[in-house]
Amino acid sequence: MPEFEQLTDPDALATALRQTGYLPDDGLATAAFLAVRMGRPLFLEGDAGVGKTSLAQALAEVGGAELVRLQCYEGIDASQALYDWDFPRQILHLRAAESGRTDVDPAALEKSLYTRQFLISRPILRAIERSPSVLLIDEIDRADDEFEAFLLEVLADNAVTIPELGTIRAEVPPLVVLTSNRTREVHDALKRRCLYHWVAHPGFDREVAILRRRLPEITDQLAEDVARTVRRMREVDLLKPPGVAESIDWAQALQLLGARRLDPERAAATLGAVVKYQEDAARIRDTVLAELAG
Amino acid sequence: MSKPPVATVERDFTDIVVGFARTLRHAGVAAGPDRVQAMLAAVAELDAAEVAQVYWAGRLTMCGDPEDLPRYDTAFALYFSGGTASYRDRATPAPTVLRAAPFETDGDSSDDGSDDQPSFSVQASRQEVLRHKDVTALSSTERAQLQRLYALLRPRVSGRRTLRYGPAGRGRIDLDRTVRAMLRQGGEAGRLAHRRHRDKPRRLVLLIDVSGSMSPYADSLLRFAHAATRCRPSGTETFTIGTRLTRITRPLRLRDPDAALAAAGQAVPDWSGGTRLGDVLKAFLDLWGQRGVARGAIVVLCSDGWERGDPTELGAQLARLNRLAHRVVWVNPHKGRQGFAPATGGMLAALPHIDQLVAGHSFAALEQLVEVIGHA
């Protein structure tokens, strides 16, 4: 991708990402830089809400590329990920060609049925056709393991072969970002072809910076309070520790209520934005909020 | 060594990375040749004189699992601080499964009996007796005989409807297949194709207590787990619980039961220790269960319910498990005994949250467990 060519080291990429509003740490910037340079898919694992999906969005913005997202789910198959033929339109075409004519050449007619205009491109094919692009394969762990084998094939040669049409190859291979929440272990064969990065929760300073970046109106005091409290929440052993996405939501909720700093009443009222289990909420009320109230 | 290896000439860098990969493999990271290639390619893109960049180049290419990361860090610190590849040999061999379940070879002479041709019925009934005998009461010869039978167990799990469709004789009309058939016949409408949601077996999760009080049954239960894994490798997850949680799904995938059990035995650090069921179950749910392993699955927990910790914690965690899983089956070998009453603290706390309590003390009881799993 032309935009990426100018970025000569991980720091340059980090700066470019920062300009889009995504604040990476050293490891993540290096990972993204290598993925671009080596043409390897980037495999991101980590807790939900630590910014795996947003990285792909930010990379697309930096690279001036289209973001194509493939959300995986149980039962996804090639016709939903790659391409499908538009059967009803083919039938219509066939009927239209036949109507009122007797001298139709069957071979030519059949050939006209399997052309690009009747092909519906699904995310992977779309990413290959529209280069430059960033292909985000989200939550690969939700798809079945047969799907991984299929992905391997596509990722290996950046091309899609359609039996009736031939091979469609990407002019510029898409930058592929895979994310996983680790609900299932992804096969080694797939991981081996990727750069693997574990995305951890951000440190205090970076979280404050992210909050201020995402919510420009927020007061410094509130950003720091939220970051500190969320950090504390991650320590108290919850069923679902809050990620960055939750702290942004929470800060936004507090801000909408007109808070300039975190006070116990508003914190209790907006707790639903940051913890999503009843047991967790009870525990937070007993520990973190109690501490906050002093 | 005066200089760190990174600063030496580039020509040697391949050797350095190869040596580093060897150190990593000793540390338990699967750093294969293709990963070495990847690391070299990554370093070429970065600054090889910068230790931090070499660190990331290696970490991004050599690791493939969060568990690899601490190992990688240790190996990196060791290797690039000027140390050599002589990594501490991986642990002292852990006690194997067979050692942990000791059985005295008694002078039992049931086989070299005086009647040279035991009739078929006698053999059959001897088999039958073996099947129903508590595994702790078996002699070593009897045990050897029975072990072969484990391979015949086929713990199949009941299915659930998936999003995916499959062809069916009736049901909703499958537009794609119908139209494709029409196209083949030049656009003439032919037979309608139908489709229905397909069934897929649920995941089977086995949690096997390997604490001291359960160790006589551990061998038998692990063989059961191996049979289940052989039956459906991708849909079976096995963990051992004791003082800590160990995932033994991978070792159990080995084809040969004895090799699989030996490998699993190596992996388990807390063999015949105590039990902290509540805490370990929590660890399972936090690390695996809630993320998806236990969701909609059939969870089989094999334990006698002797809990050293607080039984209320066990109750709370089981309630959580019960909300995630489709069915929770508790296998308690003591249930097979006469006059069993769930009296241990752990068992009492667990009872309200389990769907079924079965025995599992003998081969016949395990066959029954297969049935229970199949109909859960």
Candidates B60, B203, B286, B318: best to mutate against A (most CBs of A within 10 A) is B60
Same domain, A132 and A190: yes
Reading phi first (left if > 0) and then psi (alpha if -120 to 50, else beta), residue B97 is in alpha
A10 with B46: Cβ contact below 8 A: yes
Percent of chain B with pLDDT over 70: 85
A34 touches chain B (CB under 8 A): yes
Q: How much is the ipTM here?
A: 0.72
Give me the pLDDT at residue B121, please: 55
Q: Which residue of B has its CA nearest to A40?
A: B38
Given CB atoms, is A3 within the 8 Å cutoff of chain B? no
**Which of A75, A106, A196 faces B60 most closely, judged by CB atoms?**
A196
- Whether A51 and A189 map to the same domain: the answer is yes
**Higher-pLDDT residue of B158, A252:** A252
Would an 8 Å CB–CB cutoff place A181 in contact with chain B?
Answer: yes
B119 vs B344, higher pLDDT: B344
User: Cβ B66–A239 below 8 Å, yes or no?
Assistant: no
Instruction: Give the end of a domain, one of A199, A228, A243.
Output: A199
Q: Chain A: give the shortest CA distance to residue B318, in Å.
A: 14
**Closest CA–CA distance from residue A182 to any residue of chain B (Å):** 7
Q: Is A257 on the interface with B (CB under 8 A)?
A: no
pTM listed for this prediction:
0.70
CB pairs under 8 A between A and B: 99
| CB within 8 Å: B179 and A37 | no
Based on the fold, state whether residues A186 and A281 are members of the same structural domain. Answer: no
- A14 with A53, same domain: the answer is yes
pLDDT in tens, chain A (294 residues): 667 878 888 999 999 999 998 999 899 999 999 999 998 999 999 888 888 999 999 999 999 999 999 999 877 888 889 998 888 888 888 888 877 676 777 778 878 888 889 999 999 999 999 878 999 999 998 888 778 888 888 888 888 888 888 888 888 889 999 999 877 778 888 888 899 999 999 999 999 999 999 999 999 999 999 999 999 999 888 888 899 999 999 999 999 999 999 999 999 999 999 998 888 899 899 988 888 887
DSSP A257: T
Query: What's the token pair of residue B141?
Result: 């010869």
Judge if A195 and A208 occupy the same domain.
no
Domain shared by A215 and A152, yes or no: no
Of B265, B334, B260, B270, the C-alpha closest to B303 is B334
* Band of residue B318 on the pLDDT scale cut at 50, 70, 90: very high
Give yes or no: residues A99 and A182 share one domain: no
The predicted pLDDT at position B215 comes to 84
A105 and A25, same structural domain? no
Whether the bond into A2 is cis, omega within 30 of 0: no
Q: Say whether both A113 and A149 belong to one domain.
A: no
Q: What is the pLDDT confidence band of residue B274, given thresholds at 50, 70 and 90?
A: confident
Q: Does A11 touch chain B (CB under 8 A)?
A: no
State the pLDDT confidence band at B162, using cuts at 50, 70 and 90: confident
Helix (H, G, I), strand (E, B) or coil at A66: strand
Strand A119-121 and strand A83-85: the pairing is antiparallel
What is the number of structural domains in chain A? 3
Identify the band that residue B120 occupies on the pLDDT scale cut at 50, 70 and 90. low
Residue where a domain stops, chosen among A168, A199, A230: A199
Distance between CA atoms of residues A151 and A186, nearest Å: 12
User: What range does the domain containing A100 cover?
Assistant: 83-117
Out of A179-188, B101-110, B130-139, pick the least confident. Answer: B101-110
CB contact under 8 A, B186 and A106: yes
Name every chain B residue with its beta carbon within 8 A of the beta carbon of A195.
Answer: 38, 42, 60-61
Residues A190, A288, single domain; the answer is: no
Using the Cβ of A101 and the Cβ atoms of chain B, whether some distance falls under 8 Å is answered with no
| Contact check, Cβ <8 Å, B183/A73 | no
Strand ranges for chain A from DSSP E: 42-46, 66-71, 83-85, 119-121, 133-138, 159-162, 166-169, 175-180, 195-199
Residue B96 has pLDDT above 50, yes or no: no
According to DSSP, residue A46 is labeled: E
Question: In chain B, which residues have their Cβ closer than 8 Å to the Cβ of A79?
Answer: 176
Token duo for residue A76: 């996804």
Residue A137's pLDDT is 95
- CB contact burial B225-235 (16+ within 10 A = b; e otherwise): bbbbbbbeeeb
Residues A172, A72, single domain; the answer is yes
Q: Chain B residue closest to A33 (CA)?
A: B45
Rounded to a whole number of angstroms, the CA Rg of chain B reads 27
Q: What is the pLDDT of residue A223?
A: 94
Cα end-to-end distance, chain B, whole Å: 63
Final residue of a structural domain among A165, A199, A233: A199
Q: What is the CATH number of domain B204-374?
A: 3.40.50.410
Q: How far apart are CA B278 and CA B274, in angstroms?
A: 12
More confident residue, A16 or B272: A16
Same domain, A140 and A21: yes
Q: Per-residue pLDDT for B136 more than 70?
A: yes
Of A150-154, B35-39, B218-222, the poorest mean pLDDT is in A150-154
Q: Which residue of chain A comes nearest to B317, CA vs CA?
A: A239
Cα–Cα distance, A183 to B283 (Å, whole number)? 15
Q: Looking at the complex, does the CB of residue A40 fall below 8 Å from at least one CB of chain B? A: yes
Is A201 in the B-facing interface, judged by CB distances under 8 Å? no
The pLDDT, as a whole number, for residue B11 is: 56
CATH at residue A16? 3.40.50.300
